[in-house]
Amino acid sequence: MKKLVLFSALAITAATASYGQSEFSEFTDNPSAFTISSDKNTLELGGRMSFYYENRFLKSGETNLKHNGFDVKDMDLDIIGNMASKFTYEVHYSLVDMVTAAATQNTAAPTSPGFKAAYIQYNGFPVKIKLGYDKVPFSQSSIMHEHETPFWSHPGLTGGDYFSRRDIGLTLNARLLKNMINLYAGAYSGMGETFFEYGNDESGRFEYVARAEFSFPGKMNYNEIDEENTPTPHFRIGANIRYKDKTQPTGSSISQYPDALGTYGLSLINGKTTVYGIDAIVKFKGLSATFERDVVNLKPASANDPIFEGTTAAVNGGKVNAGGFITDLNYDYEKWKSVLSVGYQSLNPNDLIAGHEEWLTIGYAYKVSGFNSVAKIEYYVPTLEDKTSDPLKYTGQIRVGYQVVF
């Protein structure tokens, strides 16, 4: 198995050694990647490695120290190519996920299948056409790269517990008005990252996603930190929606896809799911601020669905709402090669249950060579605990480590 994975990676690299740089997916950003070019094609080969020490401050009486120690965050290999025929492609491996799966008899986390991207994209029309597995064009925070911030992971709202971040399907993308307007539309399996475990579900229906953005005074990339020290205010606002009807046919049960249900049972239900959100970012002279609000609306097909938490139709109205908001404030001070970030989020996984949770996150990064070689430290603490939906065994957590992007 290990030889097969290694051989496959080497074969792909060798077979594409003449391809390369171009107008890749907007969700891909690695300026330090190694580039091989010819007159017609270009290949970029890059990756990322990062490791940290984690320490949780446990509540009184808790003795499980499993989370206190060293861990691997990233061990990635990314192959991106551009062909003279106006096709681009990307294969992004998460080697640590593959090694974990091999070491545990293929029982790695279902939302970490070993691929972060595997697609082809045609750029020969005004509308780009992408087919394959990649980030879904929903949520500014989800699309952004956490490795380009002092934080070690995405916020709880956009990290995969409330909606999937990646899926397989078809994505259309067009830019208008000198790149100030950016439009996406797509159809996907609706199984998210667990597609590799289950394939399509028995409903046979897609999840549909649409996103619209407006940036001024021009195009803005998906990076949160203002490393360019933007001399005039630059902002982007966005709105998006996603919808899927996964009502199962007679005789079929959603329980056959346990890993696809998600931490709070929001990712896949026997019924209809609509997620909508708005987001914004502004950058100016090293300062940047972001805001995002996402709402998950669930309409189970059965009045006895567990997500109703035993409430009657008179109480729940046949639906459940979840979601929350996140906001970050960042400052990049290039003279000291430093970035300081403060984030806050408010989350509610089920509005039929009393309570919600709020989190404060503080991060600092010392950039030896930008975010390509950087030391990062992150501390987060629950300022309000949801003791019913998400009871915690700790009062805070700190992570400190190093990241290299190549």
Count of C-beta atoms within a 10 Å radius of residue 394: 16
d(CA 156, CA 326): 9
The answer, yes or no, to whether residue 72 has pLDDT greater than 90, is yes
Is 64 within 8 Å of 399 (Cβ atoms)? no
- The single-letter code of the amino acid at 79 is I
The answer, yes or no, to whether residue 8 has pLDDT greater than 80, is no
Query: What H or E segment, with its residue span, contains residue 100?
Result: helix 95-103
Nearest CA to 261 among 347, 198, 168? Answer: 198
Q: Residue 383 in 3-state DSSP? A: strand
Is 368 within 8 Å of 386 (Cβ atoms)? no
Residue 76 — very low, low, confident or very high, per pLDDT cuts 50/70/90?
very high
- Phi, psi at 355, each rounded to 5°: 105, 155
Query: What H or E segment, with its residue span, contains residue 78?
Result: strand 69-82
Exposed, middle or buried by CB within 10 Å (0-12, 13-18, 19+), for 152? buried
Give the tens place of pLDDT for each residue, 220-267: 999 999 999 999 999 999 999 999 999 999 999 999 999 999 999 999
CB-based burial, 53-72: b 16+ in 10 Å, e otherwise: ebbbebeeeeeeeeeeeeee
Residues 6+ apart with CB under 8 A from 399: 52, 53, 54, 55, 152, 376, 377, 378, 379
Give the tens place of pLDDT for each residue, 347-394: 999 999 999 999 999 999 999 999 999 999 999 999 999 999 999 999
Q: Which position has the higher pLDDT, 198 or 18?
A: 198
Residue 283 — very low, low, confident or very high, per pLDDT cuts 50/70/90?
very high
The whole-number pLDDT of residue 116 equals 95
The whole-number pLDDT of residue 34 equals 78
Residues 6+ apart with CB under 8 A from 74: 48, 49, 50, 94, 96, 147, 403
The whole-number pLDDT of residue 29 equals 64
Q: Residue 98 in 3-state DSSP? A: helix
Give the tens place of pLDDT for each residue, 185-225: 999 999 999 999 999 999 999 999 999 999 999 999 999 99
Mean pLDDT of 278-299: 98
Please report where in the chains the tokens 């198995």 appear, as a residue: 1
Give the tens place of pLDDT for each residue, 301-351: 999 999 999 999 999 999 999 999 999 999 999 999 999 999 999 999 999
Residues 6+ apart with CB under 8 A from 64: 58, 393
- The single-letter code of the amino acid at 334 is E
Nearest CA to 395 among 386, 383, 378? Answer: 383
The whole-number pLDDT of residue 111 equals 72
2-405: CATH topology: Porin (2.40.160)
The whole-number pLDDT of residue 106 equals 57
* DSSP per residue, 170-183: EEEEEEETTTTEEE
Q: Quick one: what percent of the chain has pLDDT higher than 70?
A: 91
Q: Residue 95 in 3-state DSSP? A: helix
Instruction: Name the DSSP class of 370.
Output: T
Lookup: tokens for 53? 């020490």
Residue 12 — very low, low, confident or very high, per pLDDT cuts 50/70/90?
very low
d(CA 75, CA 209): 30
The whole-number pLDDT of residue 105 equals 61
Mean pLDDT of 268-272: 98
The whole-number pLDDT of residue 107 equals 54
d(CA 194, CA 108): 11
Residues 6+ apart with CB under 8 A from 7: none
The answer, yes or no, to whether residue 3 has pLDDT greater than 80, is no
The whole-number pLDDT of residue 265 equals 95
Give the tens place of pLDDT for each residue, 29-40: 666 677 887 778
Q: Mean pLDDT across the chain, nearest whole number?
A: 91
